[in-house]
Amino acid sequence: MKKICEKCGKEIKEGSKYCQYCGAKIQETKNKDTKEESKTNQDNEKHIDNKIASKKSKITETLKNNKTIIFIIFIVLILCICLFISILALCKNDNAITYGTHENVNITESNTIKKAIDKVYNAVVYVESSRNNTALSSGSGFIYKKDKDSGYIMTNYHVIENASAISVTTMTGEEVKATAVGGDAYSDVAVLKIDASKVPDVASIGDSTKSEVGDTVFTVGTPIDKEYMGTVTKGILSNNAKTITVNAGNTGAYKMEVLQTDASINPGNSGGPLVNINGEVIGITSMKLVTTEIEGMGFAIPIEVAMSNVENLENGKSTERPYIGVSLYDLDNIMMYRYGVQTDGDVKEGTVIAEVEKNSPADKAELKANDIITAIDGEKVTDSASLKYILYKHSVGDTITLKVYRNGKDIDIKVKLDKSTNN
């Protein structure tokens, strides 16, 4: 780089401290040039630093954005894995039975009731009754109790009614002589007894009041004949508080609270158990209650009804039920016209007294023929069956109030209930 003397303007030699022409010092010029050069270098360095910082900033921002994207991808991946595991857990079942495949889709049955069936199956028996060596009836039953001497079987009363001999066949195939120790025609429940050594298993008793509509239930019994002994039918509980009218021989029409199911109940199933998913008996199936014209509608006696009287039946005691001592017919019966019974338009439901038994509670309360009973203790009486249903909620010795329509007027009559001698 050339050095110029500021005083004379001439070029001076390299390394000279004084101008060879005018003798002026050139130190300041050199310093100035050095400073300018230093400043230029500093500016260059600063510019380079700014570029480096800018690049670092861009790199940092890029990394930051990439980290956000990676984090989002990671979260989505975790959620997908969790969803997959959940679906796998729902589909997985160690007890699932594969029935077949179609277009790579597995079809499985996971609600098997095998354990529940095993719990009650060997307690079920086939019941045959006869009279004078002539077959009367057959049905099913189940062993509900065992002591040191005997096993106790519950079945329907109509299965062993009028029998002089009864035999049962257990699930082991052994035929055993049985004895009827008690029965009740109204509730259609009977108790049989066999030797304790012949008992293969005892059923567990459940509680039908804890069952809900839609619960899985099943029956075990002998539909049609002995060839089909041990048949299981499955369904749901269709109704757990149904009241139906039963028309039966000597007992006349009466109402019963029953369990309704769509499980198939056929002739021969009578007396067998209706069982819940836990393998507990919650009812006694009865063909007596079934309307044959309607499929998918079977009925069972709630186990609580049967067990409430079982102690009396085991001991051979008759069932005490209250009675008032009248014969009845319903409002729509032709007997009304025969006896000239008339009502105004307000009386559309009730039951008519045809005859009053002498010295009966009704006779003592001065009830009369042609009286129309329309309520008991405020509960409406619609027909003779409903009168029995309401009456049998009471006990012998209770005093009830009958609402009676007589000669165009409603009157209240109190009646003290006595013991019925009719089973």
In tens, the pLDDT along 335-375 reads 666 667 777 667 888 888 989 999 999 999 999 988 999 99
Buried b (16+ CB within 10 A) or exposed e, 383-405: bbbbbbbbbbeeeeeeebebbbb
Q: Check pLDDT > 70 for residue 143.
A: yes
CA–CA separation, 47 and 176 (whole Å): 112
Q: If we measure between CA atoms, which residue out of 136, 176, 175, 131 comes closest to residue 159?
A: 136
Q: DSSP code of 289?
A: G
Query: pLDDT, tens digit, for every residue of 6-17?
Result: 777 777 767 677
Query: pLDDT, tens digit, for every residue of 18-61?
Result: 776 776 776 544 444 455 555 555 666 566 666 666 666 666 66
- Nearest 5°: the CA angle 286, 288, 289 is 75
Q: What sign does the dihedral 211-213-214-217 (CA atoms) show?
A: positive
Question: One of 184, 188, 330, 371 is an active-site residue; which one?
Answer: 188
3-state secondary structure of 254: strand
Is 118 an annotated catalytic residue? no
* 3-4 vs 418-419, strand pairing mode: unpaired
CA–CA separation, 267 and 45 (whole Å): 108
Q: Which range is least confidently modeled, 52-61, 104-113, 136-145, 380-389? A: 104-113
Is 188 an annotated catalytic residue? yes
Query: pLDDT, tens digit, for every residue of 302-322?
Result: 999 899 889 999 998 888 889
CA–CA separation, 393 and 376 (whole Å): 11
Query: Which position has the token pair 């009279």?
Result: 131
Beta strands in 90-148 (DSSP E): 97-102, 105-109, 124-131, 134-146
Query: pLDDT, tens digit, for every residue of 79-132?
Result: 888 888 877 766 555 444 444 444 554 444 466 899 999 999 999 999 999 999
Judge whether 396 and 415 are in contact, CB under 8 Å: no
Task: Label residue 231 by pLDDT band (50, 70, 90).
Answer: very high
Q: Check pLDDT > 90 for residue 413.
A: yes
Backbone angles phi, psi at 17, to 5 degrees: -95, -20
Is 344 an annotated catalytic residue? no
Mean pLDDT computed over every residue of the chain: 82
Question: One of 158, 167, 383, 420 is an active-site residue; which one?
Answer: 158
Q: Mean pLDDT: which of 47-61, 165-179, 383-397 is highest? A: 165-179
CA–CA separation, 100 and 262 (whole Å): 27
pLDDT mean over 252-272: 86
Question: One of 270, 384, 386, 420 is an active-site residue; which one?
Answer: 270
pLDDT value of residue 203:
96
Query: pLDDT, tens digit, for every residue of 51-81?
Result: 666 666 666 666 666 777 787 888 888 888 8
